[in-house]
Structure 1
Amino acid sequence: MKRNYWRGKEKHGWSNRKHGYHPHRYRRPSHNNCTERLEQGEPQTPVNEGSSSSGDPSSSSLTQNSVVPELPGFYYDSEKNRYFRLLPGHNNYNPLTKESIQYKAMECKRLRLLEEEEKQKKKTTRAGLNSSMLLQKRQLGLLSSTSYCRLVHELKVNCMQRRKIEIHSPDSSVAGTNNFKIIVADVACERIFTVNDVEHGGCKYGIINLSGLGKETLTVEMYDNLYFTNRKVNSVCWASLTHPDSHVLLCLMGIAETPGCASLLPASLFSSTNPGDRPGMLCSFKISTAWSCAWCLNPQADNCFSTGLTRRVLVTNVVTGHRQTFGTGSDVLAQQFATQTPMLYNGCRSGEIFSIDVRQRNRKGQSWKAIRLFHDSAVTSIRLLEAEHYLMAGDMAGKIKLWDLRTAKCVKQYKGHHNEYAILPLHVNEEEGLLTAVGQDCYTRIWSLQDAQLLRTIPSPHPSSKDAIPSVVFSSRLGGSRGVPGLLMAVKQDLYHFSYN
C-alpha cells in the first residue's frame, strides 16, 4: 500500500527520492512528536517551513538565523543546530542550565573580542575615521576645529591598547593577593584610593601613587600602610579638609552589634610609618548603613560632608559636629555636591533625583526639594557637568540620561550600558568629551558626550562574574600634571593601563 501511495504521488508531479525528495525529511513535526523524540535522548534539528534541499547558501543561512522556538526542558545549540535536553543532576544540582549556557556564550564573545584586540583588528566605529582623512578634511575647511578635536578623540579611543601595570609594594606578600573592588582617583590623578576584598570577609584599603605611569615602564608604588576592616566598604570619596584631597571619607556598613560609621582619614596616614608623623584630623561618626557619600567644596557649606542613608540624607559639619537631617522617603544611592552653589544632588532607589540647599533650616514636608527629576528605575550614579547646567544619571535599568537642570528635561540618552541591580559609577571627562561606564556584564563602554554615540566596548581581561566587575578611572593626566592620558582598569588582582596617546 505504501509503495502504491508514493507511486501515485509521483504520477501527479511530486518529486521522488531520485530528485532529492524524502517524505519523512520535510514533514513538519508536531510539538508533541518533537518532545517525544527529545525525551528519548535524541537530538532534534529544528524544521523550518519553506526550507529547501537545493544547497543554496542563502536558504541555509536563513534556516540558521530564523527564530528557534523554545521548548520547556530543552536548549538549542546554534553550532550543532539541534535541541538538547537539560538533564537533571544529583543533589538538586543541574550541570546544564540556561544561565550556564548564556555564560558560555558570553565567555566565547569575550575571548573573541580579546583575540581581535591582540591581533589589532579593532576597527573604528565610523567609516572613514582615520587620522589622514580627518587632517585632510580639516585642511580643506570641511571640519570645524571643535568637530576635528572630537573626531580625533574618538579615533584615539579606538586605538587604545591594554598593558598590565606592575604594582610595587614594600610588603611583597600584600600586592596582588586581594581582588580590587573600588579605585577612586584624587582631583590631580596623582593617587588612587583602593579598596580590596579580603578572601575570608572584610576589606583592605590603601593608596597607590601613580607617578610611575609617566615612564616607559608601567610601575606604580603602593604606600606602606594598608588597613583592614571586617566590615564592608559601601562608598568612598576624597575630602579636602586642610588642603585639596587631604583626606579620604569612607562609609562602613555595620555588622552584628557594631553600628555603621563614616570615617574621615588623613591621606598621610597611609604613607607615614611613624605614628607621630601623621598630621591631620582623624575622626569617625556613628551612623546607620550609608549607601553613598559626598564632600562639599563650596565655601558656603565649608567642612561638610553628606551621607545617603535609608530614607534620609545626613549632612555633617566635621569641625563643629552639627548635623542636618532630610527625610527622603527612599534610600539615597548616589550623591554629589555642586561647587558653584551649596546644593546637594541625590539619586534614590525610587528613581527620583532631587537637590537640597544645605543652608536652609525649614525642612518640613517635601518643600525643600528644589529640583526633581525621575527615572523608571533606581538611580545608582549622578555626575554634574562642569558648568552645572547638566546632570548625568545612570540607573538599574541600564539607562544613562543627560538632564538639563534649567528645563528639567532629558536631552540625551547613552545606550548600551548593562545594569540590573548593581550600584555602578559613571565617569565623565569633559576635557576629552567622553563618558565611561562599566556594566554588570563586565564590559567597559565609552561614549561621545556630544552626540551620545558608543565609541568602544572593552572586554574584561578576566571572565565575567559578580566579584570581577572592573573599576576604572579615565583621565588626561594619570600620574599628575606631567602624567600620561588614558584609562586605568582594576579587575581581580590586576591593574591595567590603556594608553590614550
Structure 2
Amino acid sequence: MSNSKDCSDNESTSHSGKRLKKRKRTRDNLEANDSHNGCNINKNQELKHQKCKSSGASSSNKNETESRKSEKQEETISTPHASCSTKNSDEASSRKQRKTKEKCADCDGARNRAINNSEQACSSHKEVKWRKKQKSQKKKEKLSSAKKCNSDSTQEDDLVLKIPGFYYDKKKNRYFKILPSSNNVNVVTNETISFQEAESKRLKDLSNLESTSSRTDSSEHKCHKHSPPSENITTLIYRHHQGDVSKSLLEHSYHQKQVSWMKPAGTVKIFQDPDIYSNIEHMLQIDASRNSEKILGLWSVANSAIQRVQLLNLTEKPRVDTQHPLSVDINTTGATVLQSWNKITSLCWAPFSSDVDKKFVLYTTMCYTGYNFSLAFIRNLDPSSSEQVQVFDYNLGNHTTWTAAWNYHAMQFTVGAEKTCLLIDVETRRLWEFNTNKSDALAQVFAPVNGLQLYNGTRKGQILCHDLRSLSTRPVACMTHKTSIACLRMLQNGHQLFVSDFSGRLCLWDIRMRRVVLEYPSLHNEYLRLPFKIDPSESFIYGVGQNCYTNFWCLKSGKQLLSLPPPCPASIDMIPAVHYSNHWANRPGNSGLIMGIKDSLYLYSGRVEL
C-alpha cells in the first residue's frame, strides 16, 4: 500500500510539474507577443490598445480556467499539493495582471505621444496650408484686379444677345442695324463700330499712362544679362567704374529706361497765322537733321490738294519741370514749299559735302492725273539770302514714283519707281536703271559704310541687293518675305538690315548669313507703307502701327519696351508721324519723342530713377 501511495504521489508531482512548465511557456509566449505589439505602435494606437486589453483579459480567463481544471484534478488526485498549486496559480495570475497593467500603461503613454506628434504635425501642416492659401489669395486678388474690366465686359457681352447683322449699343441700350459704308453720320457701319472700340481702348490706355506717375520695374524689360531692369542707373554707373559694365551697355540701358518711363511733356501748335496755307489737315512725314537742330516736315492742307514742306528750328529753353528732360522751343524757319499740281511721294535730307551749312532737301513728285512727267527736286530750304536759293530738278519720265533715298558717300540719289529702280548722279545727271524683277521698288536704303550697295524692297516681297561697282544691273543677292516690303533700315556696321512688310512683320536680317536672326512683335499693319526708325544710339527701334500706337522695341533682345497711345483720336488717314532724338537742339541729354498729329506737335520725354 505504501508503494502504491508513493507511486501515485510521484505521478501527481510529475503531472503538476508538466503543467507548470506549460504555463510558463504560454506566459513567455504571451509576454513576447505583447512586447512585440507594444514596440510596433503607429497611428492606430487606440485600436492596438483595445487589442492589448482584450488579449490580457483572454489570457487571464485562460489562466483562470486552467487553474480551475488543475485544482479539480489535484483535488481528485491528492489534497496536500492542492494548496501549493492554487498559490502558484494565484501568484502567476497576479503577476500577469501586473504585467498587462504595465503594458497598458506603456500603450497609453505611446498613444499619447503619438497623438501629440500627430497634433504637432497637423498644426505645422495647417500653417503651411494657411500660408499657401494666403499666397494664392494674393495672386488671385492681383489677377482679379487686372482682369476686372475684362470680366465685366465679358459678363456684359454674355448677357447681350448677339444678333447677326445688328449692333448693340450699351449706352442707348438698344440694337442698330449694320448698314454698308455711308457718309451719313447716324448710320451704324462696321467702320463706326471699329472706331468706337478703338477709341474706348485709346482712352483707357491714355488714362493709365497719365495716372501712373512712375512705372514699376516689371514694365521694364531685360535687354541684357548683365543689366537687369531692377538695377537703377546709379548702380550701373558704379558697376561701369568697376569694369563690370561697358560704356555702350551703360548708354543702351540708360536710353531704354528713359523710353520705358516716357510721359507727355507738352504740346506745340505750329502754324497760327491766319493764312489759307496754315489751315493744316495732318502731318504726313517728319525727319530731323543729324545734329537735331532742324526738323523737316510735310503737311497736307485742308480742303485742297496742296502739300506744304517746311523747316522747323529747335532751340533749348530754360527747364521749368525737372521731371522731363526735354525742353525745346519750336518755330518755323526758312522757305516754304507749296506743291499743288503734283503729289509729293517721298521726302528726305540731301546734304552736300561741299556745302555743309546749307540745308538741301530731296523730294519726288508724281502727277495726280494725266500723263505728266514725274519729277525729283533738290532745294535749299534755309537760304541766308536770295542768292543762295538753289533748285535742281530732274525729269524721271512716265514713271510712278514711290520712294527715294540719298547716298551720303556720293552725290547720288535713287528713286523707287514702277517696276524699276533709278540711280541719278547729281553733278553729271547720268541715269542708271536697275532690274527689280518686274516689281515696284517700295523701299530703298544705301549701305552706310561706303554707299556701294543699294537695297530695294519690292512689291513682290523681295529684298534685292545691287552692287553699284558692277557693270551688270541685275541684283547680286535676294532675300524674300511673304508680303510686300514697307520699309528698310540699316545699322552703321553695314551687316544688319531691318525690314518691315505689309503684314506687320518687323525682323532683323543678317546680310552675311542671309537669314532672319530676330523678330519684333506687335507692329499692327495690313496694307500700308508704314515707316520705322532707329534711335541715334542704336539702342532701340520704334514705329507707328496702323492702329496709331507708337511701339518701342529693344534692338538687341526684340522685347517691347513701350506701346504709346495717340493723344487725340486718330484713324488710318491720320497716322502720327514720330521722331526720337537724344540731343534735340544739339544738346546732349535733351532727349524725347516728337509726335506730329494734325496741326500740332506732341512732346514726350522719359525720366530715369537714380
In 2, Cα distance between equivalents of 1:99 and 1:184: 32
Measured at CA, do residues 262 and 392 of structure 1 come closer, stay the same or move farther in structure 2, by a change above 3 Å? same
Secondary structure of residue in 2 paired with 1:189: coil
Q: Any conservation in 2 of the 1:74–1:83 contact (CA below 8 Å)?
A: no
Query: Residue 155 of structure 1: CA displacement?
Result: 2.5
The answer as to 2:343 corresponding to 1:232 is yes
1:103 maps to amino acid: F
1:476 to 582, 589, 597: 582
Q: Check whether the contact 2:536–2:582 (CA below 8 A) recurs between aligned residues.
A: no
In the alignment, is residue 348 of structure 1 matched against residue 462 of structure 2? no
Matched, 1:286 2:389: no
**Structure 2 residue matching 1:226: 3-state secondary structure:** strand
Residue matched to 1:52 = none
Contact 1:379–1:393 (Cα < 8 Å) also in 2: yes
**What SS is found at the alignment partner of 1:155?**
helix
Mind listing any 5+ residue stretches in structure 2 that lack a counterpart? Answer: 1-149, 222-228, 321-326
Residue 521 of structure 2 aligns with an amino acid whose one-letter code is K
CA distance in 1, matches of 2:232, 2:308: 49
2:377 equivalent in structure 1? 263
Alignment counterpart, residue 360 of structure 1, candidates 466, 470, 495: 470
SS of residue paired to 1:204? strand
Q: Partner amino acid for 2:297?
A: T
Q: 1:335 matched to which residue of 2?
A: 444
Shift of the 275–343 alpha-carbon distance from structure 1 to 2, 3 Å rule, reads same
1:61, distance to aligned residue in structure 2 (A): 8.8
- Superposition pairs of residues 200-239 of structure 1, within 5 angstroms: 200-212=304-316, 218-230=328-340, 231-239=342-350
Which residue does 2:411 correspond to in 1?
303
1:100 corresponding residue in structure 2? 192
Q: Which one of the candidate residues 522, 529, 539 is aligned to 1:423?
A: 529
Tell me the matched-pair count.
433
Q: Does structure 2 retain, via aligned residues, the 8 Å contact 1:351–1:376? A: yes
Cα distance change of structure 1 residues 60 and 107 upon mapping to structure 2, 3 Å threshold: closer
1:381 equivalent to 2:478? Answer no
Q: Cα RMSD (Å) of the superposition?
A: 3.4
Matches of residues 77-476 of structure 1 in structure 2 within 5 Å? 84-86=175-177, 88=179, 95-120=187-212, 123-124=215-216, 126=218, 135-136=234-235, 144-145=245-246, 149-166=251-268, 171=273, 173=275, 177-199=280-302, 200-212=304-316, 218-230=328-340, 231-241=342-352, 242-244=354-356, 246-255=359-368, 256-268=370-382, 271-272=383-384, 274-278=385-389, 280=390, 282-287=392-397, 288-298=399-409, 302-328=410-436, 329-341=438-450, 342-363=452-473, 368-429=474-535, 431=537, 433-476=539-582
Write the letter of the residue equivalent to 1:461. Answer: P
Q: 1:282 is paired with a residue of what secondary structure? A: strand
User: Shift in Å at residue 260 of structure 1?
Assistant: 1.5
3-state DSSP of counterpart to 1:479 = helix
Higher mean alpha-carbon deviation, 246-255 vs 442-451, is at 246-255
**Identity across matched positions, percent:** 27
Give the whole-Å Cα distance in 2 for the aligned partners of 1:131 and 1:125.
6
Deviates more, 1:491-500 or 1:393-402: 491-500
For the structure 1 residues 108 and 167, does the alpha-carbon distance in structure 2 shift closer, same or farther, using more than 3 Å as the test?
A: closer
CA 1:193–1:60: 2 relative to 1, 3 Å = closer
Greater helix proportion: 2
CA distance in 2: counterparts of 1:370 and 1:479, whole angstroms:
41
CA–CA distance in structure 1, aligned partners of residues 347 and 446 of structure 2: 14
Match for 1:177: what amino acid? Answer: I
Q: Could you tell me which residue of structure 2 aligns to residue 50 of structure 1?
A: none
Gaps of 5+ in 1: 1-57
1:69 to 1:371, Cα distance in 2 relative to 1, 3 A: farther
Instruction: Give yes or no for contact 2:167–2:178 (8 Å, CA) kept in 1.
Output: no
- TM-score of the two chains, using structure 1 as the length reference: 0.77
Matches within 5 A, 1:20-35: none
Find the structure with the greater CA-based Rg.
2
| Distance change (3 Å), C-alpha of 1:379 and 1:176 | same
Task: Answer with 248-257 or 396-405: which moved more.
Answer: 248-257
Question: Is the alpha carbon distance of 1:324 and 1:162 closer, same or farther for their aligned partners in structure 2, counting shifts above 3 Å?
Answer: same
Q: Secondary structure at the match of 1:407?
A: coil
Cα 1:243/1:337, change in 2 over 3 Å: farther
- Checking the alignment, whether the CA contact within 8 Å between 1:399 and 1:415 is kept in structure 2 is yes
